[in-house]
Amino acid sequence: MERKRVVLVTGSGSGMGRESVRLLAQKGFKVYAATRSPEKLTGAFEGDVTPLYMDITDPKSVEEAFCAVERLDILVNNAGYGLVSTVEELDEKQMFDQFNVNVFGLLRVTKHSIALMRRERSGVIINISSFLGKIGLPLLTMYNATKYAVEGITDSLRYELADFNIRVHSVMPGFFDTEFARGNLVTNAETFSEESPYACMVSNLAPKIVEQINRGNDAEDVAELIYTIIEDENFPARVTVGDKASKFIPMRKELSDEDFERRVREYYDL
């Protein structure tokens, strides 16, 4: 009997992570649903799903979680959040926390996953990045920076792991209707204060971004795409998904920096 392929999904508690766990379990995978609240996932899925406590900001937590994972075929690095702040009003903790989850956490999980995959000389790593890993937006500078970093990690790992038959891919979603705007956006109090020198920009831009997220594409689209990447050995290095990503990424490639910036300014009335 053919053995089940094993997949680990971080950030499984909601949104894209939760839908990915659901779909992959339905497709017959053995799924480790990594989250800081595994009790909330007990009995939530049909199929072979094991809720797994993992705090990706804590190296010890990641290491202990992997003690329960004997073999791994696919890793989906989905966990992340977005900080909304100007650079001037950032504090040191906010800067570190944003990178600790979106970049360092991703690297911690990837590091342990590679060891398991390299042993089998086979594997797939899928990094859930963002279209904001290729373009900038004000107020999202730190989030942008982390997703640019994820794109760089993806590119470099593709070289580093090719000899071990481990594929590495990046998925760049646009704005999706998940819990992101409601639970995974962290705002800087100074930036959102009426006394902030950026108050005009915040009052204009922030509501537009939140509305676009809440009216965005369905998280199931990302889950379906993840399954397609797993099944297609010749899938491209990266792919966009969602309306905003499909609009902005091709435009970014076609235009000069200055022309693209002008288009973004016009689109968001900056």
pLDDT single digits (tens) 46-100 = 999 999 999 999 999 999 999 999 999 999 999 999 999 999 999 999 999 999 9
Dmax over CA atoms of the chain, in Å, equals 66
Of 3.40.50.1820, 3.40.50.620, 3.40.50.720, 1.10.10.10, which CATH number belongs to 6-268? 3.40.50.720
Question: What are the tens digits of pLDDT across the range 115-140?
Answer: 999 999 999 999 999 999 999 999 99
Torsions phi, psi for 152 (to 5 deg): -65, -40
Q: What integer pLDDT is reported at residue 177 of this predicted model?
A: 57
The CB density around residue 231, as the number of other CB atoms within 10 Å, is 10
Give the separation between CA 245 and CA 231, rounded to whole angstroms: 23
Report H helices in 121-242: 141-161, 180-183, 199-214, 219-231
Active site residues: 143
Domain ranges in the chain are: 6-268
Q: What integer pLDDT is reported at residue 3 of this predicted model?
A: 87
Average pLDDT for the chain: 93
Q: What integer pLDDT is reported at residue 216 of this predicted model?
A: 62
Start-to-end CA span in the chain (Å): 59
Query: For 104, which DSSP code?
Result: I
- Over range 250-265, report the average pLDDT: 94
Query: Are 14 and 80 a contacting pair, CB within 8 Å?
Result: no
